[in-house]
A and B are shown apart, each in its own frame.
Chain A
C-alpha cells in the first residue's frame, strides 16, 4: 500500500502554466499539481504579466478552488418567495433540465422582445464576460449587458478619462523614468487594481530610485503610506484642488508645454462665442489660427506654421478664441484659496505642489531611446477610484487629467502612461495590432477597448430603450439604473416598452457590490427568472431561480485574458506577454464553465450562427481562422482559432498549453507613442457641451429633470450631495476603499485571505480618527453605528487611526456578507454599500458614476464593546 502510494506520488508532480483568476489582472501562474490535486500556485517567472511574483490573492487561489462550500451541481429554487433570509430551498437538478428550462425561457423572450434579457457579469474575471457573454447578448439582440459594482463604482469616470486622453482603460506613471507623481485617490502600484502585481514591483523600484510620490487621499492609504507626502484631502474635492493647481501653473507660474498643447491637444482649436468649435465651412473641420500666416486653417492642415494658443481672432465674421485661452481664463476663478475652503488643503500647499509638478516636468527636455529622440516629462498626475467615485466624477477626472496635458507628460518618457494603447503586434504576424486613430475632429478614438460602448466620438443621445438609460448617458458605460431605486419611475417616464424578464448572471454579486442591497434586491426581485453561474451560494443567488455550478479558473480554458492589454498589462518598456488559461486538474462534480453553458444555450435556442458571427467580430477573427457558421463551437476551438489568428498556425492551443504564453520585447515607439500619433486630446470638451444640448432636447420630451450643469466644455468642481448636508450631527464623510487583500466581493470567502484580514486592523473595521473617537467617547474596538442622512445604517467595529482625515470615515471593500453559502465571509467586515443611495440624484449626470461618499453620524452601539 505504502509503496503504491509512493509510486503514485512519483507518477504526478508537475507544474502547469496558466492564469490567475482572483482578479481581472490574470497574472501568469504556474500551478503545481500532485496526484491530481493543486498543491501550490506560484507566479510564472517567464511572464511579463507578474514576473514570477504574486499578490496575496493569487497565491491564496487554492483556497477558492478547494472551498467545500462551492456549488457543485445545477440547482433550482422550490420556494417561489424571494427575499433576504428567505431560504430558496434549492433542489439539485440535472444539467439537461437546467439547460432545457433556460432555453425555453430565452426562446420566449427572444420571440417577444430580446431586450427583455438582462445580462450581467463580474468584473473580477474579465475575459469570459467580455468574450462569450457580451457576444451572446449581441447575438441575442439585447442591449442590456452590464457589469456589477466593479464597473459602476470605478469605471465610468476613470476609464472614460483614460480612454479620451490615453486611448486606454487606465493609467500609471512611467515607473521606470518618472520623478514626481501625484496620485488623486489612487493606489496604483501599492494595492489592488490594474496590473496590481507588476505595478507593485515597478512602483517599489521607482520609490527606491527616488521618485517623489504625493498622494492626495482622505485616508493614509496603501499608496499614501509609502508616499513622500500625504495630502489628506476632504473626500470628493480633488477636482477643486486640481483646478487650483492648473490655475497656479497657467496663470501664476506660466508653466505649460506650448508645443505639446499645439500639436497633441485641441488647445489651439478656435471656439466661437457659443462655446462650439469654429469649423471650416467646406470640410466641417475645426479651425485653428496660424500666427505664421495670420489666417485660420483646418486643425490638420500641414502648413500651419504657428498655432495660436492665445488671442482673440475674427473668423467667419465672429469673434473667437483658442480653447487654451478659454481654459486659462476659466480656471482663474479657482484660486488656491478657494480650493482650500473646498478641499481643506492649504492654499500654500496647493501652490507648492503645482510648482513642484511644473518644475519636475522639465518642459522642453528630451531623451534618446533606442537611438531616437523622445520628449522627457518625468511627472504624472494619476486619478482613480477614490477621486472619481463621486457625483462630480467626470469633471474631477477631466480636471486631474488636464494636469498631464498642460505639462505635456501624457504617454511620453517619464510621464503618465495609458496601459499599452499602441501595439505593432508580434514580429511574425503583426497581431494583435492597434493604435488610437483620430476622429473627424482630430480627437483620439482608442484603437481597442474592453466594452462594446464607444468612448469617442460619443454616441448620439436618443430616447432610451435600454434598462440602463444609456442612450441619454452617451459618456457612461456602467449604469446604476439597471438596479436603481427610481428605475421604475424613470422607465415609465421614458416609456420603456418592456421590462426585464430573464437575467443571466456570470459570477457577479450585484446585491453586495452595486449599492444599497435593499434597493438592489427590490429591483432584482421584479425580474421573474434569474439564472446565475457562481462559485458560491451568495446574497445574489438567494434571488436566483437557477444556480449553475461555475468552474474555478484552474478548471477551464481562457483565451488571451491579457488582451487587449489596456487593462492588465504592465505599461512602460519591457515585454509584451499574452498567456492562456487552461485547466490544471480535471473539473469535479458537475461544474461547468459559463462559456460552455452560453455556447450550449445559444445552440438550443438556435442562434449559433449569429453568435459565431459576433464572436468572429469580437475576437477579430478572419479567414482561415473564423468560427464555422453552422455549428456550436467550444471554448477550446475558439481559443485555438484566436491564438492561431494572432500568432500563426503553429501556435495554436496545443502550443500554448505547453508554453503558457508568448512574449516579445516592446518598442519605444509603442510605449511612448504620443509624438508619433496624429490624435489630439480634448483640453476643451466641446463634445460635452454638444452632447449635453442633445440630451437636454430628449429629456424635455419626457419631462425628466436631469441636472445638465455637468455637460460643460470646461472643467468645474461640482459639490456632491455629501457636501451639501448642513445638519451638524452628520459630521463625517464616509467612504470606502479597496483592500490589497481582496477583489471586490469575490475573494471574501477565501479562508487564507480572511485569516490575513483578521490580523490587519483595517480590513474588517471602521477607521476613524482618534480625535473623533475622543469627542464621541468611542474607543478602539467599540461597536458603532454609522448612519446616513437618509437613515441608512451599518454597524461595525472601530479602528482608531491617526492616518485618516478627521472629517473622514473609511471602510474597506465589499464586506459584511450574510449568505450562509459563504461561511468564511459571513459576518466579517462592514458593508459600506448599505449607506449608499442608488438613484438619479446620486449619479454623475454626465457619466452615471455612482456617488460613493456619504455624510454620516456615528454613535456607539448599545452593546458597547464587542
Chain B
C-alpha cells in the first residue's frame, strides 16, 4: 500500500528529462567555461559550452511540452520576487540567451578571434549554469508536504550531479575514436569527478538517512520498493561506483578511452536515474488531523 500511495504522479517523464538535461547541460557548460579560462578556445571549452547550451535548450522543450498551456510560459517571468519557479525561469531564459550568444560566437569565431568580453560571458554563463542546476532543487526543497523533496541536501545533490554528469558527457565525447584532443586532457576533470562522486555518495547517504526518519515509507520505496532497481543499479552502480572505479583506473594509468567512454555513459545513466527517483519518490506526506494520519489523494 505504502509505496504505491507515495508514488508521485503530477510530474512525469517529461519533467524527469528536463531535470536531467538541464543538469547535464549546465554541468557541461560549466566545465567548458572553466576550461575556457585557461585555454579559451580549446576543444573541451567549445564542446562543453555549445553542447551544454544545446542540452539545456532541449530540456526546456520538454519542460514547455509538459505545461498545460505552453503559450503562457512567458507569464512565468511575472513573479520573480517570490517564486523560485519564476526565478528559475529568469535564470533559464538568461542562460539560454547568453549561452546561445556564447555558442554562436564560438562557432563563428576563427582561432584567437573571440571578443574581449568573452571571459565575462563565460563567467556569467557559469553563474547562470549553477542557477539552472540548482533552482529546481531549491524549488523542490521548499515543498514542505513532500518529505523526499523537502530537504536542503537536494539542491547540493542536483549541483553535484550536474557537474558530474557534465564531466561524464565530455569524457565520453573526448574518448570517441577519431577525436583530436588527447584523452589526457581530461585527467584533471576526471580527478574532479572522483571528488564529486565521493561527495555525491556522501550526499545520497545523508539524503536517505535523514529522510528515513521523516519519510520511512518513501525511503523504503527507493531502497527496497518499486524504485529499488533504478536506485541500486542506476544511481549507485552505473552512476557512481562503476565510474568511480574506472576513473580511478584511468588516473592510475590503467585506463583507456574505452573505459573513459564507459564511465561517461555510466555517469549519464546515473544522472537520469537520480532524477527519475527523486521525481517519482516525491509523494505527499499524510495530512495530519491532530495525530491521525490521512493519506489525502495518494499519488498526487
Contact = CB atoms under 8 A, between A and B. Distances in A.
B1 interface: yes
Interface string A778-817: 0111000000000000000000000000000000000000
Nearest to B296: A759
Nearest to A780: B1
A631 to B, nearest CB: 60
A781 to B, nearest CB: 6
Contacts of B1: 779-781
Contacts, number: 3
A157 to B, nearest CB: 37
Contacts of A781: 1
A333 B254 CA distance: 94
Interface residues of B, number: 1
A405 B1 CA distance: 50
Contacts of A779: 1
Majority-rule SS of B interface residues: loop
Nearest to A800: B1
A779 B1 CA distance: 9
Contacts of A780: 1
A780 B1 CA distance: 7
Interface string B1-13: 1000000000000
B297 to A, nearest CB: 9
B196 to A, nearest CB: 41
A781 B1 CA distance: 8
Nearest to A779: B1
Q: Size class of A's contact patch? A: under 10
B1 to A, nearest CB: 5
A462 to B, nearest CB: 59
Nearest to A781: B1
A780 B3 CA distance: 13
A860 to B, nearest CB: 16
A781 B298 CA distance: 14
Nearest to B1: A780
Interface in B226-283: none
A780 B4 CA distance: 12
A758 to B, nearest CB: 12
A145 B199 CA distance: 81
Nearest to B297: A759
Interface in A690-713: none
A781 B5 CA distance: 12
Nearest to B4: A781
Nearest to A759: B297
Nearest to B2: A780
Interface in B1-52: 1
A43 B1 CA distance: 39
A115 to B, nearest CB: 56
Interface in A743-783: 779-781
A226 to B, nearest CB: 16
B182 to A, nearest CB: 56
A395 B1 CA distance: 44
B79 to A, nearest CB: 33
A266 to B, nearest CB: 51
Interface in A438-477: none
Interface string B170-194: 0000000000000000000000000
A577 B1 CA distance: 49
A780 B298 CA distance: 15
Interface in A192-242: none
A277 B1 CA distance: 64
Interface in A336-394: none
A188 B81 CA distance: 55
A673 B52 CA distance: 88
A781 B2 CA distance: 11
Interface in B132-171: none
A642 B247 CA distance: 95
A783 to B, nearest CB: 14
B111 to A, nearest CB: 65
Interface string A161-188: 0000000000000000000000000000
A629 to B, nearest CB: 63
B271 to A, nearest CB: 33
A432 to B, nearest CB: 47
B206 to A, nearest CB: 33
A667 B1 CA distance: 56
B30 to A, nearest CB: 46
A779 B3 CA distance: 14
A781 B3 CA distance: 13
B287 to A, nearest CB: 14
A814 B197 CA distance: 59
A5 B108 CA distance: 59
A760 to B, nearest CB: 13
B217 to A, nearest CB: 14
A781 B4 CA distance: 11
A780 B295 CA distance: 15
Interface string B56-83: 0000000000000000000000000000
B284 to A, nearest CB: 16
A569 B152 CA distance: 61
A775 B1 CA distance: 19
B3 to A, nearest CB: 12
B209 to A, nearest CB: 28
A142 B203 CA distance: 83
A320 to B, nearest CB: 61
A287 B1 CA distance: 68
Interface of B: 1
3 contacts: A779-B1, A780-B1, A781-B1
Q: 3 tightest A-B contacts by CB?
A: A780-B1, A781-B1, A779-B1
Interface of A: 779-781
